[in-house]
Every structure is written in structure tokens, then in C-alpha cells.
């Protein structure tokens, strides 16, 4: 079980087909498709009441995308041309 996300601070970057998570204990390389990538997308709705909504799918993200079975950097039915784009890190 990956215990990086619930506690502590971390940063990440997209490198090829991997998300590289930088933690206090070192880097973790996660295959992009294996991670619920929606939470790293700038279109994801962070409202806790929304749970699985985004700009591409305001009525609910398809399960294949949400659980990482489909790489939403590619076209998927009903996405209206809105696809995964990583959240930009701010230097604030």
C-alpha cells in the first residue's frame, strides 16, 4: 500500500509514462496508467462533494479512466476534447 498521499507533503512530475513522486524518503516511480491519474489532472473537480467529476465529465468520470484502465491522454468517448493535463506546480 502506498502511504505517501494521505500524510505529509510531496511533489511529483510526469516523466514519460511514469509519475515520479518525490517524498521525504526518496522518489517513487508509478506507472502512469496504474495510478488514479484524475487527482493529478488540472481539470479534476476538487470539490469533495463531486467525488468523480471533471470538466470533461461533469456528470461523472467513466470508471475505466477513474481507476486507471484507460490512459486519458488519449481520446475517449464523450470527453469533448478535454483530456488529462497535469496540474502546474506553483512557486508560491
Any idea where the domains of the chain sit in the sequence?
A: 1-35, 36-86
The CA dihedral of 17, 4, 84, 78, to the nearest 10 degrees, is 110
Q: Which of 17-21, 47-51, 84-88 has the highest mean pLDDT?
A: 84-88
pLDDT tens for residues 25-62?
777 776 665 455 787 888 988 775 666 789 999 988 88
Mean pLDDT estimate for the chain: 75
What is Dmax (Cα atoms) for the chain? Answer: 40
Report residue 82's pLDDT band, with 50, 70 and 90 as the boundaries: very high
The per-type count for the chain, helices as H runs and strands as E runs, is 1, 3
**φ, ψ for residue 66 (rounded to 5)?**
-60, -40
CB 86 within 8 A of CB 70: no
Please check the confidence at residue 4 and state whether its pLDDT lies above 70.
no
User: Hey, which bits of 16-62 come out as E strands?
Assistant: 18-23, 26-31
Amino acid at each position: 500500500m502506498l502511504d505517501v498521499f494521505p500524510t505529509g507533503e510531496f511533489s511529483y512530475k510526469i516523466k514519460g509514462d511514469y509519475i515520479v513522486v518525490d517524498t521525504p524518503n526518496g522518489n517513487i516511480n508509478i506507472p502512469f496508467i496504474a495510478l488514479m491519474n484524475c487527482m493529478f489532472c488540472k481539470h479534476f473537480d476538487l470539490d469533495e462533494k463531486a467525488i468523480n467529476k471533471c470538466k470533461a465529465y461533469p456528470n461523472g468520470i467513466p470508471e475505466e479512466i477513474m481507476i486507471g484502465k484507460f490512459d486519458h491522454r488519449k481520446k475517449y468517448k464523450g470527453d469533448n476534447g478535454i483530456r488529462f493535463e497535469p496540474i502546474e506546480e506553483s512557486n508560491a
